[in-house]
Amino acid sequence: QASQEELKAAYRRLCMLYHPDKHRDPELKSQAERLFNLVHQAYEVLSDPQTRAIYDIYGRRGLEMEGWEVVERKRTAAEIREEFERLQREREERRLQQRTNPKGTISVGIDATDLFDRYDEEYEDVPGSSFPQIEINKMHISQSIEAPLTSTDTAILSGNLSTQNGNGGGSINLALRRVTSAKGWGELEFGAGDLHGPLFGLKIFRNLTPRCFITTNCALQFSSRGVRPGLTTVLARNLDKNTMGYLQWRWGIQSAMNTSIVRDTKSSHLTLAMQLGIPHSFMMVSYQHKFQDEDQTRVKGSLKVGFFGTIVEYGAERKISRHSVLGATVSVGVPQGVSLKIKLNRASQTYFFPVHLTDQLLPSAVFYATVGPLVIYFAMHRLVIKPYLRAQKERELEKQRESTASDILQKKQEAEAAVRLMQESVRRIIEAEEARMGLIVVNAWYGKFVNDNSRKNEKVKVIDVTVPLQCLVTDSKLILTEASKAGLPGFYDPCVGEEKSLKVLYQFRGVLHQVMSADNEALRIPKQ
């Protein structure tokens, strides 16, 4: 957003600094010529509104293309930006055609009741009875993909397979969704399976007001017993910025009326629900606390009371890598018993492992279901996950360093040459600032600082930028904008891909001050 006046002022200052005629030493003169030409090229690009717009959008590639293949030269800056936005929309449409948005779930049910519900007298004459029998008693696999047909039409193909105690089945569904307007969409669904006959469904979504919407789902399930119709309607309304209210009516095989209130904020998630229906009626309250840490830790608990009994659940989930979230929940209920549910979300795939521990309320089962996953998680996190993530980060940094090594070396040489050329100007600036008791940069460092004890083994990577910063002082002021400081004259990136800061020790009105600034943070010295 620099104005033409600001560009001219910066250009004049750098020309005075790097002008070859100001340096008699042959080596300094050669370095000055190279930097002077770079400054002149930059000003030529940025002083012309057309080339500046092309550079802002396309970078050097746009400037270097012969014959102006990117855009016509005669276009204005506004037209160039409009053309770029049009090309971006076309690219987005092409990406939309290629996107399938796959989603999948794999669930493996484990029966581990033999660990806690053994009856020794039943196993006295059975070989190998000293070992508890743990077996997989059910599995479920589902997968879906989306195929955009046009900008408003999408085809969704999904399927699932289930098995329990040796019996199983599956189904396949095809849905066609059309966005009819900004306020709604409709969806037709066709399905078939080996346990049930053909399925025909219609789903409609509509925004009634900016704060209220309705969803209706009608279905016809054909089977050997005849046709089973079903209807589900959900009415939802924003009660406030963070709270939604839902009313649901379901008619068919399992008729029910349900009302719920969901409040979701940055730090918590609360759900209150009540259902009256056949065969299940219940009341439920669920609360989740979100910790504001980099691992996105969440602790949750819920209570559900109904005709089927009472269930208490508590658990936690945590991000273990960039795309993976691991969670564990303990379920204690009457008459359900005690279960441990482990869930891993990896991008759009979900892996779910419910482990049934006992049919009774045994304190030992509750204890091991709670403590066991915590011990295993912290051991795995310390011995496996943390070293793996650290090694992965190092590999990525090393790859980034290798790809930018030649460019960084060139930038380093340019920065060192610029510092040598600044010496005379800096001496005059310091003399002028000392005379008026103004701003003098005593020391300045740029790069990676290690202040945290937990990172004491990491290496400090900084460069001395005292001279370049003093050279930027004008009228006892130093002003840096919100941009990476690696691009300033006399600076370069000493630690590619790592977090950087600028530390300045300066003297103003004869008093020493110190300031620390993040890489992309604006800085104004002296502080007001």
Domain ranges of the chain: 1-65, 408-527
Q: In this predicted model, what pLDDT tens digit does every residue of 101-124 receive, in sequence order?
A: 788 999 999 999 888 876 544 545
pTM (two decimals): 0.64
What does the pLDDT read at residue 66?
A: 46
Separation of alpha carbons 498 and 445, rounded Å: 15
Sequence-ordered alpha helix ranges (H) in 283-385: 363-380
- 369 closest CA partner among 328, 425, 317: 328
- 299 closest CA partner among 357, 347, 370: 370
Separation of alpha carbons 115 and 435, rounded Å: 85
Structure tokens at 375: 């011990």
Q: How far is CA 115 from CA 119, 138, 317, in A?
A: 10, 18, 26
What does the pLDDT read at residue 182?
A: 86
Q: How far is CA 356 from CA 56, 115, 280, 339, in A?
A: 59, 10, 22, 4
Strand partners, 313: 302, 331
Residue 202 phi, psi dihedral angles, 5° rounding: -135, 130
Q: In this predicted model, what pLDDT tens digit does every residue of 347-368 receive, in sequence order?
A: 889 999 999 999 888 899 999 9
Q: In this predicted model, what pLDDT tens digit does every residue of 408-437 receive, in sequence order?
A: 888 888 888 888 888 888 888 899 999 888
- 271 closest CA partner among 258, 287, 259: 287
CATH class in words for 1-65: mainly alpha
Say if residue 303's pLDDT is above 90: yes
Structure tokens at 166: 């040796």
The SS3 assignment for 380 reads helix
DSSP 474: B
What does the pLDDT read at residue 120?
A: 47
DSSP for 80-132, written as a single string: HHHHHHHHHHHHHHHHHHH----EEEEEEEEE-GGGTS--GGGGTTSTTTTSP
The pairing of beta strand 184-193 with beta strand 167-181? antiparallel
CB of 173 within 8 A of CB of 163?
A: no
Q: How far is CA 189 from CA 157, 173, 373, in A?
A: 10, 7, 41
Separation of alpha carbons 110 and 357, rounded Å: 9
